[in-house]
Amino acid sequence: MQKVLITGSLGQIGSELMCALHGKLGAGKIIATDVREPWKEILENCNYEKLDVLDAKAVADICKRHKIDTIYHLAAILSATGEQNPQLAWNVNMHGFYNIIEAARELGIKQVICPSSIAAFGPDTPKDDTPNETILRPTSIYGVTKVAGELLGNYYVKKYNLDVRGVRFPGIISWKTPPGGGTTDYAVAIYYEALKKKSYTCFVRPDTVLPMMYMPDAIKVLIDIAEADFAKLKHHCDYNVTAMSFSAAELAESIRKRIPDLMVDYQPDFRQQIADSWPRSLDDSAARAEWGWKPDYDLEMMTDDMLKNLRVKLGKDAIA
């Protein structure tokens, strides 16, 4: 039976992937890890252990002890946080991934899933319908580590025949977990503030267009690529995936259709420069052709679902 290790399991994607895999595989099959102390619900619903991915011995020990055959490596320092501490971002994102992939090679672990990001692209990359194979010259340390991680993963596929897979995620939007230090955090925070204050100060310009994805589709991506036929994969660690593209103003207008008196002002900060270096839309035809990727949510469907669930989550704090 499949035994799965998730690193970074208390993060935005990790916390929801953990629940999805627990429901899919059953109790006892998921080992959730992070460097932080878990909240009570985590301990009630899964096997949790603290793990620092920079500790190579601890990584190997936990894999051997639990007879892990699949690793979802989600532990990372994200783009905005990374710019504030580039050395930490390089250390966690690169040395952490190296420890994971080396443990997989040495222990004969069946599969490693390690997501990349649109941060792998840069200002020289075509902005619209960005192709899967294109110029990769990122200008953020997060992007640099993602390009290096893609190359390292593909190297291990070719050199050691290790099954390493990854996708370039766009911005991820979720009602379950708060923003986590990424450049696209505004696309999550605006929903919270719309319900709590009916106002939001956005840190990018209103005309900033980025590719995005709702969390249920992001979880679907990770499960689908893990289940894809290895023989049909041509890219392995660097598949473009997307669901929608919209501007910050279009996002605000989508919410305003449901909360008419929402007020939004725009005060771009250092994250604007990062956003400007990323694509406006992605060509994900390779993922669609090679393993059948297809999103379920568009902007209006996502907004309906976000507001419905956040009203319940926020309870009395929701005034809209």
Q: pLDDT at residue 1 above 70? A: no
Q: Which domains does the chain have, with CATH numbers?
A: 4-170+214-240 (3.40.50.720), 172-212+243-281+297-317 (3.90.25.10)
**41-45, 56-60, 149-153: least confident range:** 41-45
Measured from the Cβ of residue 26, the count of other Cβ atoms closer than 10 Å reads 11
- Residue 157 or 27, more confident: 157
Q: pLDDT at residue 201 above 80? A: yes
Q: pLDDT at residue 114 above 80? A: yes
Q: pLDDT at residue 115 above 80? A: yes
Q: Who contacts 210 (Cβ-Cβ below 8 Å, separation ≥6)?
A: 118, 170, 171, 184, 187, 245, 246, 275, 278, 279, 280
- Residue 177 or 314, more confident: 314
pTM: 0.94
User: How much is the mean pLDDT over the chain?
Assistant: 95
What does the alpha-carbon distance between residue 39 and residue 219 come to, in Å, rounded to a whole number?
Answer: 21
Report the catalytic residues. Answer: 142
What is the crossing angle of helices 141-160 and 96-107, to 10°? 10
φ and ψ at residue 99, rounded to 5 degrees: -65, -40
Each residue's pLDDT tens digit, 214-258: 999 999 999 999 999 999 999 999 999 999 999 999 999 999 999
Under a CB-based contact definition with an 8 Å cutoff, are residues 318 and 195 in contact?
yes
The H-assigned helical ranges of the chain are 12-25, 40-45, 56-65, 79-84, 86-90, 96-107, 141-160, 186-196, 215-227, 248-256, 270-276, 285-291, 299-314
- DSSP character string of 216-285: HHHHHHHHHHHHS-GGG-SSSS-EE--SEEEEHHHHHHHHHTTSTT-EEEE---HHHHHHHTS-SSB--H
Q: Work out the percent of the chain whose per-residue pLDDT is above 70.
A: 98
Each residue's pLDDT tens digit, 137-178: 999 999 999 999 999 999 999 999 999 999 999 999 999 987
